Structure 1
Amino acid sequence: MPVVIPSAAQRSAARAAEAEAEAAVGDGGIGKRALATPVESAAVRKNARARLRLVPGLDGLRGLAVLAVVIYHFFGDVLPGGYLGVDMFFVLSGFLITSLLVREFRVTGRISLKDFWVRRFRRILPAAVTVLVICTAIVAAIGGDLAVGIREQFLGTLFFVNNWTQIATSQSYFADNEIQVFAHYWSLAVEEQFYLIWPLLIAGLFIVVRRYPRRVPIIVSVVLAAASAVAMWFIYTPGEDPTRVYYGTDTHAFGLLIGAALSLIITSTHSDPAADSWPSSRRAGAIAAQVLAPLALLAYLAQLIFMTDDLEFTYRGGLMLTSVLGALMLWGVVRDARPLTWLFSTTVMRWLGQRSFSLYLWHWPLIMILIALFDSKREHAWVWGLVALPLSFLLAEISYQFIENPFRRGGYKKAWTTYWASRPGLAELRYGFAKVAWPLVPLLVVASLAGVVYGVVTSSDKTQLERDLEELQQLNNSGSTPAPEAAAPTTTAKKTRPMPRGPEITAIGDSVMLASSAALNTRFPGLYIDAAVSRHYTAAIPIVQELKSTGQLRDTVFLGFGTNGAAFPGQLDELIDAIGPDRTIVLSVPYGDRDWMPGARAEVIQAAKDHKNVYIADWCTHAQSNTSLLRADGVHPEIEGADQYALAFQYALQQYSNYDKNTSTQCAV
């Protein structure tokens, strides 16, 4: 390589810079000139590049975070709080990104937004887009419910707005059977949105407040973090699905901002590019890190075990606490606190951390694809978790070595040049798997892109369940649902009253009742059914009032609700009063894995206790005792399950006929 000899002017400027650096070492580079533009020449500033100190324990922290998330997704019962690994990622990202910005500004006197975003794209895009393209092609080939909404998933993920796309389409992160194949990209979207906005804000702050280079940026980051946590607190509604506040950039950015605040507090503002990025200038601070960091680790591990995703505390301070604990652990690792340094510097933890990005990208689509192919009802999901775990590690290693590293270290052009230069000759094709596999790369790219196009163009917006429900809705509206003879009612020797028959029954409900409408017609031929998708109790009251006002409300009323939320305070009593005390009412006890289900079941049972004319149809116990009766979403019944749903109503009518009432259920309330 040619040797460049600096000019006399450049040598003089360099000596002046060295003298300035030596003068600033005494206070760790934190003085009155902190963050002021150094006096180096333009040429020296252009070629100088601040680098962050290598801290092996930071890789280990990433390893802990990704391990928690993988265990949560594969074996949720083992680590109910494993989702908190994402918050650790947020704290790390906010800390490291802000540290880079602080060091760049101090060393060069400016922040190159172009260079920053190019580095981020090199780091994230190659692996993220590769996984997205390959998995979209595979999902499109598999089809079925797994491919529902793949168009929106692909485009939302490609443009890093996956979190808002899922919020807009009412997807849930906490309903086990409804998570999309690219749901995990939500956190990457939040980070990318942060990477777009934060450098602009921090660069502006550094320029405007040179006199107080630390104080104002720290205050801004802390205030924004507090605002984000407060927004999560107030937007979250107990008993409802928390996906909106969990996915929202506005309500879940506090982890990134807390990491940024920690960086602004401890990152060096020394103008020397070789200066320690996180100097330990105060003994008291080092001692505090040694004490607090291990305690924070213990508290974080306790959260992983005990802080489930359905607790009100989780969204009203719990996640904020997780981020603070993550910042304390990060502080301890940077300050070489024991035993954190030993734990997170081990080979296994560092290996996991270095491959955490690729492991995070691959693990969720992999388990979703395996379950879709071999276990659509998730009866043995943990078995596929055991299968997916080593496969995820293998794919992460391949992705890390051959996608992440080449693009991150050399950029797009060099990565492509290196790949093209490695093309083998005809003779070399006889030796080595790597040489033989080389021509498969363009074929894989073409096939994947073709699969993406096919998947995006042919994507269905409705699951098989939704299509079946639409067909049942049309049959109910047309009155063409078959209605065979009713089964003979059960009779006993004791005093009884006649069992209500189909023409005496009005049934009003949600999609679970709609999915069971044929079975209800079989057991109660001639009943009137008004059931629809995504219905809440709110919709039932005007329906009852309309039927009653036109004289069409029959003597016995079936109500099947709760799947889409518990009743609002006083709403169930209002509905019962609207039907009237002279009619027999049967309320379905709902089944599902939603957070509000225990409350929804409890209010149904309480209504039966409070009103003499109200009985319960314990659908929940029927479903819970045999989940194979349910479709893949774990909520709606298959054909056999629909018969059990109708049977639950028949049992309730038998109680009415026998002057009996049972208000117990085997389900949690």
Structure 2
Amino acid sequence: MKVFQSIGRQNRIAGLDALRALAIVGVTLFHMFPDTIKGGYLGVSLFFVLTGFLLAFTSVKSWESGSFGVFRYYGKRIKRIYPALLIMMLTTIGAFHFLVPDVIAAIRPEAESVLWGYNNWWQIEQNADYFTRMANASPFTHLWFLGIELQYYLIWPVLFFIYTLWASIFGKRSGAVFFALLGLAAATVMPLAYKPDMDVTRLYYGTDTRVYALLLGSALGFWRGAKKPAGLRFGSDSYSWLKYLAFAGILTVTFTAFAVMDGQAASTYQWGMLVMTLLFCWLIHLVADNRLELGRGLDNPLLGWIGRRSYGIFLWQYPVIFLFNRMGWTKWPEYWALELLAIVLLTIWSDAMVDFLLQRKKPAIGSSFIVAQCVFFLIVTMPGVALMGYGSYGIVTSSDQKTSELKAKLEAQKAAQEEANARAAAEAAELAKKQQENQEKLVAQQLTGVACIGDSVLLGASGDVRKVLPGAIVDGEVSRYVGGGIPVAQSLAAQGRLGKVVVVALGTNGPIAGQERYEAQTRELLKILGSERKIFWVNIYGPSLTWQDTNNEYLRKVAATHSNVTIVDWYSEVSKHPEWLSRDGIHPNDDGCAAYARIIRECMERTLSAKAAQ
């Protein structure tokens, strides 16, 4: 990928490998420690700016030398992107075939979306929230970024033609200004589309909301490419100390943002990401300025090595981190060191494979080099090739039957839910009339007309829940988080349909504790439900959910401080019965749905009977 590659010795800009290293370190730390390095995802914005910058700069140089051609351009991109990508994907699928086969059972549609360059839109369609990753997420979740890059590469010849036409008429600098204005105009899409408490997946993944960083980088690349000689000189040497101060300030802001800039905060999408993108443009501008010699100062062996290997590090990091989480290896002491070691070794191996396949390193002595290649192939490459073979087999034979079955079931339950809710109020009123005033019947009366608010786990079990809770209002929705339950509770309250007892089944789709804004959503939901209602909150199960234990512990504390809240311990019961779960390890199957409903009913009976007996 262009952003991860050098641009040739002739026009090489010193220091860009260090900027690549900065970006990949931020992204890697975010993937490994999302609750600590909250803003590391901003490294993606830096990569976007670098992509646009280098693409524009190299295209201008090729145009000036008469060597720019569309077919040659696409050929170079394919050679730089796809060999390493295919090696990573096929090896990962092959390894997962043995270790966690359920993950790649329906991998083909996703693999196609990656290879054809529309993975970001595919993930948006799948409701794949980057910041609240589910256990049934994919080892290729991070490749949404590659989708946007591939789409930009695809249309680049058209954009470059527009630039050359504009530059021929109005001048090269004017063409750079035109792209800068185009990028700033595109930057308004994200803040205008943002709505409070919305799911930010669409904004984070969308090509239309992220392309401004590529356009601004291209504007800078066109401006730099218009300069002759190759050395970039912006302005005079006067006040160079201010530029050094600016460089130090931008790095300080960047490190701070990597640590604290929450990817779900409103400010990130209203102005924060744009501000950081503009700072990254300024950072590249300063590094590219030969007079400051910042680039040469940044060219050290370690940063250079990381920068040159950044594409491989990017490709391998998420599959490795995903596998560690899925296999439960994160419980090992210093597991992160093993993750890093695996990422680095796999990167070295895949880069060597690409060099071998493309013959990028010419032999000094023909026969010796051939022997070395054969040894490398037999000892190091063969196991990888075998895994890639299994990976190819996995893609060909993958089926989305199980995934389709779950999706169809949830869609059917949603339709049934809407129909049943229309009858629920009338049924509740009719059944309530038949209840008597003794203890047992008082409990049954309280269990009539219960309101249930939850996510896809509740949605999947909604039919069984209605069987055990006659007249229940069940409102389950895919990907709903705690904040998403607030408007549902408000709507039911306004309609007078909450009743005296409420079941809440939220917490699967993201953390509800650990940050003030998460806990504030829980407090707001409890406030709306009120202290007079009896609330039964179903805890969560998902061994690979990083927030499982944190959420369940927080719910225990909520129940301890709110006398009207009781925890339905779904976690403890389903932990003993893995046969209750569908393939993703989170949603209950048919037997699990029946058990889920029964456990809720039994908990409610115990609690309400004890209260009635007082």
TM range (shorter): 0.7 to 0.9
Residue 501 (structure 1) aligned with residue 501 (structure 2)? no
Q: CA deviation at 1:653?
A: 4.0
Q: Is the 8 A contact 1:60 1:353 kept in 2?
A: yes
Q: CA deviation at 1:50?
A: 8.8
Q: State the distance in 2 between where 1:159 and 1:297 align.
A: 36
Find the residue that maps to 1:616 and give its secondary structure. strand
Q: Map of 1:217-232 to 2, 5 A cutoff?
A: 217-232=175-190
Q: 1:288 to 1:125 in 2, by over 3 A?
A: farther
Q: CA deviation at 1:409?
A: 4.2
Q: Map of 1:176-325 to 2, 5 A cutoff?
A: 176-178=133-135, 179-270=137-228, 275-279=229-233, 282-284=236-238, 289-325=243-279
| Selected match of 2:489 from 572, 585, 597 | 572
Find the residue that maps to 2:312 and give its secondary structure. helix
1:403 aligned partner: 354
Q: CA deviation at 1:563?
A: 5.3
Q: 1:435 to 1:597 in 2, by over 3 A?
A: closer
Q: Map of 1:600-619 to 2, 5 A cutoff?
A: 600-609=521-530, 612=532, 614-619=533-538
Q: 1:254 to 1:211 in 2, by over 3 A?
A: same
Q: CA deviation at 1:648?
A: 6.5
Q: Is the 8 A contact 1:246 1:252 kept in 2?
A: yes
Q: State the distance in 2 between where 1:282 and 1:258 align.
A: 23
Q: CA deviation at 1:604?
A: 2.7
Q: CA deviation at 1:379?
A: 7.0
Q: 1:292 to 1:645 in 2, by over 3 A?
A: farther
Find the residue that maps to 2:170 and give its secondary structure. coil
Q: 1:526 to 1:104 in 2, by over 3 A?
A: closer
Q: State the distance in 1 between where 2:440 and 2:157 align.
A: 75
Q: 1:573 to 1:99 in 2, by over 3 A?
A: closer
Say which is worse superposed, 91-100 or 343-352, in terms of deviation: 343-352
Q: Is the 8 A contact 1:148 1:459 kept in 2?
A: yes
Find the residue that maps to 2:208 and give its secondary structure. coil
Find the residue that maps to 2:186 and give its secondary structure. helix
| Selected match of 1:146 from 99, 103, 111 | 103
Residue identity opposite 2:148 in structure 1: V
Where does the alignment leave 5 or more consecutive residues of structure 2 unmatched? 1-6, 421-437, 540-550, 557-568, 575-580
1:134 aligned partner: 91
Q: CA deviation at 1:245?
A: 0.9
Give a deviation string over 1:74-120, Cα, whole Å, max 9, x none.
Answer: 12233111111111111111111111112222333x73222222221
Q: Is the 8 A contact 1:87 1:255 kept in 2?
A: yes
| Selected match of 1:392 from 343, 361, 375 | 343
Give a deviation string over 1:196-221, Cα, whole Å, max 9, x none.
Answer: 22332222321343143234322332
Residue 334 (structure 1) aligned with residue 288 (structure 2)? yes
Q: State the distance in 1 between where 2:144 and 2:414 align.
A: 34
Find the residue that maps to 2:207 and give its secondary structure. coil
Q: State the distance in 2 between where 1:597 and 1:649 align.
A: 27
Where does the alignment leave 5 or more consecutive residues of structure 1 unmatched? 1-48, 479-494, 537-560, 660-669
Residue identity opposite 2:22 in structure 1: L
Give the CA RMSD over aligned residues.
Answer: 4.5
Find the residue that maps to 2:253 and give its secondary structure. helix
Q: 1:228 to 1:645 in 2, by over 3 A?
A: farther
Residue 453 (structure 1) aligned with residue 396 (structure 2)? yes
Q: State the distance in 1 between where 2:103 and 2:333 align.
A: 19
Residue identity opposite 2:74 in structure 1: W
Find the residue that maps to 2:449 and give its secondary structure. strand
Residue identity opposite 2:507 in structure 1: Y
Residue 74 (structure 1) aligned with residue 32 (structure 2)? yes
Give a deviation string over 1:472-530, Cα, whole Å, max 9, x none.
Answer: 9999999xxxxxxxxxxxxxxxx999742279523444433356779979xx9564556
1:371 aligned partner: 325
1:462 aligned partner: 403
2:502 aligned partner: 586
Q: State the distance in 1 between where 2:585 and 2:30 align.
A: 19
Q: Is the 8 A contact 1:267 1:279 kept in 2?
A: no
Q: 1:446 to 1:406 in 2, by over 3 A?
A: closer
Q: CA deviation at 1:580?
A: 5.7
Q: CA deviation at 1:166?
A: 0.8
Find the residue that maps to 1:210 and give its secondary structure. helix
Q: How many pairs does the alignment contain?
A: 545
Q: State the distance in 1 between where 2:612 and 2:304 align.
A: 68
Say which is worse superposed, 337-346 or 120-129, in terms of deviation: 337-346
Q: 1:381 to 1:332 in 2, by over 3 A?
A: farther
Q: State the distance in 2 between where 1:89 and 1:331 align.
A: 15
Q: 1:499 to 1:332 in 2, by over 3 A?
A: farther
Q: State the distance in 2 between where 1:382 and 1:89 align.
A: 32
2:121 aligned partner: 164
Q: State the distance in 1 between where 2:176 and 2:520 align.
A: 43
Q: Is the 8 A contact 1:50 1:103 kept in 2?
A: no
Q: State the distance in 2 between where 1:408 and 1:214 align.
A: 37
Residue identity opposite 1:512 in structure 2: V
Q: State the distance in 2 between where 1:525 and 1:627 align.
A: 16
More helix, by proportion: 2
Greater C-alpha radius of gyration: 1
Q: CA deviation at 1:232?
A: 0.9
Find the residue that maps to 1:352 and give its secondary structure. helix
Find the residue that maps to 1:617 and give its secondary structure. strand
Residue identity opposite 1:575 in structure 2: L
Find the residue that maps to 2:264 and give its secondary structure. coil
Q: 1:269 to 1:84 in 2, by over 3 A?
A: same
Residue identity opposite 1:505 in structure 2: T
Q: 1:616 to 1:437 in 2, by over 3 A?
A: closer
Q: Is the 8 A contact 2:106 2:401 kept in 1?
A: yes
Q: 1:198 to 1:396 in 2, by over 3 A?
A: same
Residue 89 (structure 1) aligned with residue 56 (structure 2)? no
Q: State the distance in 1 between where 2:553 and 2:473 align.
A: 22
Find the residue that maps to 2:484 and give its secondary structure. coil
Q: Is the 8 A contact 2:458 2:476 kept in 1?
A: no
Give a deviation string over 1:4-60, Cα, whole Å, max 9, x none.
Answer: xxxxxxxxxxxxxxxxxxxxxxxxxxxxxxxxxxxxxxxxxxxxx996533442111
Q: 1:143 to 1:562 in 2, by over 3 A?
A: closer
Q: CA deviation at 1:253?
A: 1.2
Residue 512 (structure 1) aligned with residue 457 (structure 2)? yes
Q: State the distance in 2 between where 1:420 and 1:565 align.
A: 66
Give a deviation string over 1:460-481, Cα, whole Å, max 9, x none.
Answer: 4529977997999999999xxx
Say which is worse superposed, 51-60 or 438-447, in terms of deviation: 438-447
Percent identical pairs in the alignment equals 22
TM-score (norm 2): 0.75
Residue identity opposite 2:267 in structure 1: F
Find the residue that maps to 2:141 and give its secondary structure. coil
Give a deviation string over 1:240-279, Cα, whole Å, max 9, x none.
Answer: 2211111111101122122112222333444xxxx42534
Residue identity opposite 1:513 in structure 2: L
Q: 1:473 to 1:162 in 2, by over 3 A?
A: closer
